[in-house]
Structure 1
């Protein structure tokens, strides 16, 4: 069954070959960091905009994007802000090797007065895909998005870290993190899948244009 993206109040990013979305978290404070070049031309992984940071373990910046020939790898995105975080949305654009999401990820790490916690996403969707020509031949890239609801935490959360695992030979070309000070669902399940969402399963989604 085909999966598609529904993100409330979003419009497509205009630059060519980028499948990620511009998001309005409906928050009084929102911070966004975007990476559209994860290739060897940007080996230090400097974002296009925003103050977030990215690091890679087990992989490297190849001619197209993040990659690994030798084994599985992961990318970690960290964001620190000057307000209390209640909502986090992570998007990645990649060509996965095999099923994705992979190995139970991504996971969000936060630190409160009770210690450090790792949280799975509250909402998930797979989005638009595009077939591209490259050095490895025709390759299909797809956008994926996850959202975390942190509004129930009484502690002040001003920084988060998100680690996403990837299978060997997966190619990651772009990423985006949005954080806001209030929570509104941006990934909306179909009515028929509402029960599945209660037990943490995936959403069957339709794109609203």
Structure 2
């Protein structure tokens, strides 16, 4: 049997433990969106334990503040909680005096989370204004734009099975232009599930509203082509199998096959000389959004990664000994064969895993 998996986010599960790797010196995923009118900004890109008071690293004229509710705290990798759910609250006012009314609010995070939990947690951020408790949900859809893959270098034994973590840039926005009497200050409370790491946050306020958006990704365009929607939901969801051919949509996307027609050439295992191998065809230029991993096991648990490919980059052999990855051009595609690192194992199984980066 050949196994296929399409995951909505990076594989980062290890019992109940989820730990983000330190990313000191890495480029932040926070963006400076072009906003209209007068603008005030506060951002934090160093939230580790060395900065326990959440001092922003934006210009000193910005007066934004951040508070983290227990059991969250500043760990080596940013805001984190081992033991339970937590929240952060950021505030921004028009400083030093209310010289304009706030019509547009943009809130961003640079974060990674356990895919076993829903994100955003508990409905996502809620905004209040003028020192009130209105608790307004974002008035426009969440934007996910930008991913940074970080190698696991924590050195913690429990994390040895986790190769890397995917940090993502997340943005929410509010249109406050219709608020009677105007808005002078805002407060945003963001709930988190435990095992979520936040290494950066940013809040922008502006005197004029102009909707911002993320560019359409290749995967969103693929969904639009086949399902007439760009949303990762319903028949178009990454883990859905619309044509019931055993391949989830994300696997179909990664293999370059149609999600609405039965796949022809499918990944297949074969045994030769007592050694198992897995073969499959990929587009000549695979999507840069995806990560491919070929793994093997004896008991369907504790899978060992044999080979990895990030987007259009070459395959990397992760197994022992010499590389057993062979790539051959075939009919406008690349035929990939990955051989097992062991031979003569009677209960050996292999699988292809495709996930977003």
TM-score (norm 1): 0.79
1:68 and 2:81 correspond: yes
**Would you say 1:51 and 2:63 are equivalent positions?**
yes
The alpha carbon displacement at 1:188 in A equals: 6.3
Tell me which residue corresponds to 1:127: 145
In structure 1, the partner of 2:179 is: 153
Residue 119 of structure 2 is aligned to residue 106 of structure 1:
no
CA 1:122 to 1:193, structure 2 compared with 1: closer, same or farther past 3 Å? farther
Query: Unaligned regions of 5+ residues in structure 1, if any?
Result: 4-14, 197-209
Distance across 2 between alignment mates of 1:67 and 1:159:
27
Distance 1:140 1:167 in 2: 17
The C-alpha deviation readout for 1:32-76, integer Å capped at 9, x for no partner, is 101010101111100001210000002000001000001000000
151-160 vs 71-80, which moves further: 151-160
Is the Cα–Cα contact under 8 Å of residues 96 and 166 in structure 1 kept in the other structure? no
Write the distance in 1 (CA, Å) between the matches of 2:119 and 2:30. 17
Q: Which of 29, 35, 38 pairs up with 1:25?
A: 35
Cα shift readout 1:67-88 (whole Å, capped 9, x = no counterpart): 0001000000001112210000
Aligned length: 181
**TM-score scaled by structure 2?**
0.47
Number of the residue aligned with 2:45: 36
Contact 1:122 1:148 in 2 (8 A): yes
Unpaired runs of 5+ in structure 2?
Answer: 1-6, 10-24, 217-223, 232-357
- Cα deviation, 1:13-45, whole Å, max 9, x if unaligned, reads xx8431111112112x10010101010111110
Q: 1:77 to 1:110 in 2, by over 3 A?
A: same
Written as runs of structure 1 = structure 2, the 5 A alignment for 1:80-95 is: 80-81=93-94, 82=98, 83-95=100-112
Q: Deviations over 1:119-154 (max 9, x none)?
A: 100122111111113426622110100000000012
Aligned positions of 1:178-193 closer than 5 A: 178-187=204-213
Q: Distance in 1 between matches of 2:133 and 2:78?
A: 31
1:168 maps to what in 2?
A: 194
> Counterparts of 2:183 and 2:165 in 1: how far apart (Å)?
39
